[in-house]
Every structure is written in C-alpha cells, then in structure tokens.
Amino acid sequence: MFQRFYPHHEVASAYVIDYEGLYQAGFRGVIFDIDNTLVPHGAPADERAVALIARLKACGFHVLFLSNNKEPRVKPFNDAVGAAYICKAGKPKRAGYDKAMERLGTKPDNTMFVGDQLFTDIWGAKKAGMETWLVKPIHPKEEIQIVLKRKLEKIVLYFYHRRKKASGKKQA
C-alpha cells in the first residue's frame, strides 16, 4: 500500500551521493528540490550548494531545480548556482517532472530526483519513472503543512525501513 511512496535510495544528505559513480552508470540528469534538500527552508544558495552544482556540471550532468515555490523564491537561488529551474511545478503531479526532463533533454531511465519529501518529491518522481533519492531534511524549521506531512511520512518510513531490514538490503 505504501510502496508508491518508497524511495529507491535513502541517504543522509544530497551532498553525500556518489554522483560521479551515477554518471558512470549512465545517469545524465539530476533534478533537485531546493528547500530542506540543498539549503534550509527559504535560505539562499550557500557555498556548498554552489560547489555541488558546479561539480555536477563539470561531471557532465544537466541540472534542474523543480519547486512548488513561486519564482521570487526559486529564481534567486538558481541565479546563484546557474542551473535551470521550474517553479510552481505542481508536485507530485507528473507533468512537472516530464517538463523537467524535456528541458534537460533526458529520459526517466537516465534522470534522478533528489528531494526531502515522500508525498511530493519522491512520489511524483516515481510516477514519472525516475530513480529517487530521499534525503533527510536539513533543518527542522518548516511550514505547518509540511510539519503535518512529516508525521504521516514517519508512518510510511517505518514500513519502508521494516521492509528494507526484512529484505536484508543495506541503506546508503
């Protein structure tokens, strides 16, 4: 029942993913959520985010930010790091993810999504056929609607971790 929300991978941070290895494995596009995935909610791009995007571009990746936020939030972040973006994406609807891949020139089998929320980021990317990476939220301060979703996410993640443990799969 909850499997539609299960990520393909779960890691502590977007900054610990082996992007070079994933590029070698054939991935060419990385789509990121911004808030609580790369920086705390509402924060500007920091040195770490700028360095990560530069590293990905140097590796050969096409990078795009897919956000449900409005342009005044997303554009300044993107301007600081120099990638592509789509704001007011309507996640978890598939259309935003498809549009992102079209803009990147990638397909579901060579595009990955990195985000911190199961019910928007991960579910939408899975519906679009992408490989998904769930990261832990960077900062506990979040909007009330997200706080409420986090309580439901804990239930889903409980069953996800139980299933992983039963199958003997190691988590990243």
Q: Flag whether 21 is in a domain.
A: yes
Q: Flag whether 111 is in a domain.
A: yes
Q: 54-65: per-residue pLDDT in tens?
A: 999 999 999 999
Q: 54-98: per-residue pLDDT in tens?
A: 999 999 999 999 999 999 999 999 999 999 999 999 999 999 999
Q: Flag whether 172 is in a domain.
A: no
The CA distances from residue 28 to 51, 64, 82, 101, 170, in Å, are: 18, 11, 17, 10, 25
Q: Flag whether 152 is in a domain.
A: yes
CA-closest candidate to residue 64, choices 77, 73, 51: 77
Report pTM.
0.88
Q: 22-36: per-residue pLDDT in tens?
A: 999 999 999 999 999
The count of domains in the chain is 1
CATH of the domain at 88: 3.40.50.1000
CA-closest candidate to residue 32, choices 66, 7, 3: 66
Q: Flag whether 148 is in a domain.
A: yes
> Which residues span the domain enclosing 118?
3-167
